[in-house]
Amino acid sequence: MYTESLKYFMAVAKHLNFTKAATELYMAQPALSLKISQLENELGVELFKRTKRKVELTAAGYVLMAEGNKLSEKILDVKNKVKQAEEYRDGYLKVGILGAIAPDFLPVIQEFRSQYPLIHLAPCTMTMKQIHTELLNQVIDTVITVETNIFNISDLAVSYLYHEGLSLIVPENHRFVQNGIFDFSLLAEETFLMFSYEESPHYYQHLINLCATWGFYPKICRQLSTIDDLLFFIAAGYGVAITPTHIQTYISAKLKLRLIPLKNQNDFLSVVIAWNKNNHNPAVSLFYQLLTNFLKANTTVKDNL
């Protein structure tokens, strides 16, 4: 049975009227009746009960109609994929992802490569500074990062993905761990380690403002450029730090650190996907659609999606 024969059958099954179906198909009614008869002979079953007054589907006809709907959807899907393969045969997409959250998006990278094998996808894990610089200079197609990292970049399209909570990181023998709960005002007595202002000035200022809401300015002893350095100096007892909760993926058992989620305050970071509005790479929209569909279908990726 060919797709053309299925098209003839589906039209008659839809209208249960050969004349109306023939009109829809832009063909003569006798020619359509002949096509249906040929299909019935090929399958060895009667698909329609015909009388002078009406046309009805047989049991076999109902089965073919149900399967025909599935087949029609599959054929359409194949046609779309073939069309996309031709349209994007020379495609290239560079995606920058903030290193600390990159593991969350590995399934999206894998699925995109599976669905669009002819598009060369180049994912890059980056620091906040690298993402800001490459996005500002328009040498990257799209980025997944925290919102504070893209302030003051004009002509950006930004879509919110989910909220990321903040946590206090301390050595495992810290008094806050031993006591179980703490008052934010007690943080005024602590020495802080921070990601450097040069690395991400807006994120740095974000944490300064957060401490201000608790009534103090943090005593900053060191500004560091990498996650590894930050965690090392906390473990060595130089101070504490407030970071996005996703940093927990970098903490090894040897460091003996604890994360204390800041659940008693409403502050959080927004994880976003962003791209330059003047970027007309069609692969950007394909990646964005696949990403949003993935997050909707996998609400466990983040508890607060």
pLDDT, one tens digit per residue, over 98-120 is 888 888 899 999 999 998 888 89
Across all residues in the chain, what is the average pLDDT?
Answer: 86
Check whether residue 157 and residue 173 sit in a common domain. Answer: no
Write out pLDDT tens, residues 22-49. 999 899 999 999 999 998 999 999 999 9
Mean predicted confidence (pLDDT) in 168-191: 84
Q: Which of 37, 54, 87 is the last residue of a domain?
A: 87
Per DSSP, the residues of 59-80 read HHHHHHHHHHHHHHHHHHHHHH
Looking up residue 75, the CATH number of its domain turns out to be 1.10.10.10
pTM tops 0.95, yes or no: no
In a domain, 42, yes or no: yes
Mean predicted confidence (pLDDT) in 157-172: 90
In a domain, 215, yes or no: yes
Classified as helix, coil or strand, 279 is coil
Check whether residue 141 and residue 278 sit in a common domain. Answer: yes
Mean predicted confidence (pLDDT) in 153-177: 88
Check whether residue 46 and residue 61 sit in a common domain. Answer: yes
Task: Answer yes or no: is pLDDT of 130 > 60.
Answer: yes
Instruction: State the Cα–Cα distance between residues 305 and 298, nearest whole angstrom.
Output: 9
Check whether residue 74 and residue 31 sit in a common domain. Answer: yes
Structural domain range at position 73: 3-87
Instruction: State the Cα–Cα distance between residues 121 and 140, nearest whole angstrom.
Output: 12
Classified as helix, coil or strand, 157 is strand
Check whether residue 56 and residue 177 sit in a common domain. Answer: no
Residues 6 or more apart whose Cβ sits within 8 Å of residue 270: 146, 147, 160, 161, 162, 163, 164
Write out pLDDT tens, residues 58-85. 999 899 998 888 888 888 877 776 666 5
Check whether residue 215 and residue 232 sit in a common domain. Answer: yes
The CA radius of gyration of the chain, in Å to the nearest whole number, is: 30
Write out pLDDT tens, residues 225-247. 888 899 999 999 999 999 888 88
Dig out the tokens for 106 from the structure: 């590995």
Check whether residue 50 and residue 117 sit in a common domain. Answer: no
Looking up residue 202, the CATH number of its domain turns out to be 3.40.190.10
Q: Which of 69, 87, 105 is the last residue of a domain?
A: 87
120-126 and 92-98 beta bridge pairing = parallel
The pLDDT, as a whole number, for residue 87 is: 60
In a domain, 266, yes or no: no
Task: Answer yes or no: is pLDDT of 293 > 70.
Answer: yes
Proportion of the chain above pLDDT 70, given as a percent: 91
Check whether residue 192 and residue 234 sit in a common domain. Answer: yes
Check whether residue 256 and residue 170 sit in a common domain. Answer: yes
